[in-house]
Amino acid sequence: MSFKLPKLPYSYKDFEPYIDRKTMDIHYNKHHATYTNNLNKAISNTNMMNCSIKEILKRAHLESSIIRNNSGGFYNHNLFWEILIPHSQTEHTHPSRDFNEIIKKSFGSFDSFKDTFSKIAVNHFGSGWIWLCVKEEKLTICSTINQDNPMMYRTGCEGTPIFGLDVWEHAYYLQYQNRRLDYISSFWNIVNWTKVEKNYKENM
């Protein structure tokens, strides 16, 4: 079994002006492709060749750093592409009434959720990911370093991720340089909340 890049249901330009097409192109065709290729090489001729990506993540701490980094890079980016949507599709860029109520139960309000998530993202030191997870039927926000994932062992960020933001510089530096906060603020305009809610329901 080998892992493949997902086919994107949109074009690289569909996220402008929030994320420029060149960043999307490089992010997908260079960075994500490299993680995918390196993961396939690392598991070739091992007992992980028939494992699912989630199974690999859960045992990554027992394997080499190459497998840990590249399995995370493969899975994390897959989720990232899934929860993005062109801002022109406005019916998906706000949570439904029902999901908004679920968010309110965990964070007080949708605005409070966005504020908490954004602050964690801005203050995250170095490269990594910020996550919205389901844990014990509740929503939580946490972060991981590098390409770590909440499903990995003892990351300090536990649960099943349903929504993630890439804060590696390759995700935004061409357009925003060191202005990570501007990138995060733009990100909220292109979140596919229909997909996030679906992820939530599938993990409850």
The torsion angles phi and psi of 6, rounded to 5 degrees, stand at -70, 150
Radius of gyration of the chain (CA): 16
Whether residue 10 is contained in a domain is answered as no
Residue 118 pLDDT greater than 80, yes or no: yes
Q: Which two tokens stand for residue 43?
A: 């598991």
pLDDT confidence tier of residue 103, bands split at 50, 70 and 90: very high
Average the pLDDT over each of 23-37, 77-91, 122-136 and give the range with the smallest value. Answer: 77-91
Which pLDDT belongs to residue 91? 73
Whether residue 6 is contained in a domain is answered as no
Which pLDDT belongs to residue 167? 98
Record the pTM.
0.96
- The conformational region for residue 136 under phi > 0 = left, psi -120 to 50 = alpha, else beta, is left
User: How many domains is the chain partitioned into structurally?
Assistant: 1
Task: Give the residue-averaged pLDDT of 36-56.
Answer: 95
Whether residue 187 is contained in a domain is answered as yes
Average pLDDT taken over every residue of the chain? 96
Please state, for a pLDDT cut of 90, what percent of the chain lies above it: 93
Sign of CA dihedral 155, 188, 198, 3: negative
- CATH code: domain of residue 38: 3.55.40.20
Residue 1 pLDDT greater than 70, yes or no: no
Whether residue 146 is contained in a domain is answered as yes
Q: Which amino acid is at 118?
A: S
Which pLDDT belongs to residue 204? 82
* Residues 131-159 pLDDT 10s: 999 998 899 999 999 999 999 999 999 99
Task: Give the residue-averaged pLDDT of 161-170.
Answer: 98
Look up the domain containing 37 and give its range. Answer: 20-204
Q: Measured at the alpha carbon of residue 133, what is the angle toward residues 191 and 90, in degrees to the nearest 5? A: 15
Whether residue 117 is contained in a domain is answered as yes
Report the helix count and the strand count for the chain, using DSSP H and E.
9, 3
Whether residue 155 is contained in a domain is answered as yes
Which pLDDT belongs to residue 82? 97
Task: Give the residue-averaged pLDDT of 181-198.
Answer: 97
Whether residue 1 is contained in a domain is answered as no
Whether residue 9 is contained in a domain is answered as no
